[in-house]
Chains A and B, each alone.
Chain A
């Protein structure tokens, strides 16, 4: 396959070529999906350097496991799942390194969000794109990793409750409460950020 053919080929043709050892085809796949993969890693880790390393690791893993990809989902979805699993492993390692149980803290803190007053006005309405991004970025950074992960998997990855529970190794009930508290906290944080200083 020539360079021109690579750039005009669809993902499945490139995957087939890469499965036969065509590195140029694989490079084209990296170029096409690198931003999405990095964005997923960054959303979960909230650390640029770590997100770059993990997305790089995800691509290397993908190359090694490429023969296992049978096309049941899109290549981008398959890649994203590899990235999410790597990020979850990394977050679990972080958690083990800390003395306190974040899981326990997350569940305890849920009660506060449940009783918060509802934010009636849309706190992001009328904001410039850049400003909105900055505020959401800030608010996401203030969530615990468990709450942020459930937000990422549901809102960005569009996973159903059942799938999130499987990915995170918890019950559907836990997913529902984590998602609820995460959303409520996000609303409160965004509303606080909108208040004039």
Chain B
């Protein structure tokens, strides 16, 4: 049997043929046992499948399944928090201001110590090194100048450290 005829028999079974053509195929089935057998086979398979699907049940309880959907809806429906500062600004703050803030604190500390200790004999110049922070401070009292040398990028990861409660 040619493929074209086989597909036509199937289309007849599925009600996809126009009326005139369907009548011709019905006549053919009535006189051709091969065609009739094929239509019966297709019909049997269709019938078996129809009965099958209603048996499939979701293997999760109503409450559990719903709780997952509800949680997911809550997640996707959540309004996105809009960060008012652009990303480049946040990166800049994290990268440069954190170490700069630490350096400023060191300078203030040095100034406070030298000013609040009247009896302290100070040299005209002083150098302070902070090995933990890779920072070196040079102060020339006569010239009223303070230089802070900051090793950057910090080899100890100091500059990359951004605690949760500060700039995030």
Interfacial residues, chain A to chain B (CB-CB below 8 A): 23, 27, 30-31, 34-35, 37-39, 42-43, 48, 52, 55-56, 59-60, 63-64, 114, 118-120, 122-124, 129, 132-133, 136-137, 151, 154-156, 160-161, 176-177, 179-180, 183-184, 186-187, 190
Residues of B within 8 A of A186 (CB): 45, 48-49
Q: Mostly helix, strand, loop or mixed at chain B's interface?
A: helix
Q: Is the CB of A187 within 8 A of B45?
A: yes
Contacts A34-B65, A114-B6, A136-B49 given; does A154 touch B59 at CB 8 Å: no
B19 at the interface (CB under 8 A from A): no
Chain B, range 46-80, C-beta contacts under 8 Å to A: 46-60, 62, 65-66, 68-70, 72-73, 76-77
**Total contacts A-B at CB 8 Å:** 114
- Apart from the given pairs A38-B58, A118-B37, 13 other A-B contacts in the complex at a CB distance below 8 Å: A27-B66, A27-B70, A31-B66, A56-B72, A118-B34, A118-B40, A119-B44, A120-B41, A137-B52, A183-B10, A183-B41, A183-B45, A186-B45
Residues of B within 8 A of A137 (CB): 52
Interfacial residues, chain B to chain A (CB-CB below 8 A): 3, 6-7, 10-11, 14, 16, 34, 37-38, 40-42, 44-60, 62, 65-66, 68-70, 72-73, 76-77
Q: Is the CB of A114 within 8 A of B37?
A: no
Q: Is the CB of A39 within 8 A of B49?
A: no
User: A133 vs B34: C-alpha distance in the bound complex, in angstroms?
Assistant: 29
Tell me the minimal C-beta distance from A49 to chain B in angstroms: 10
Q: Is the CB of A156 within 8 A of B49?
A: yes
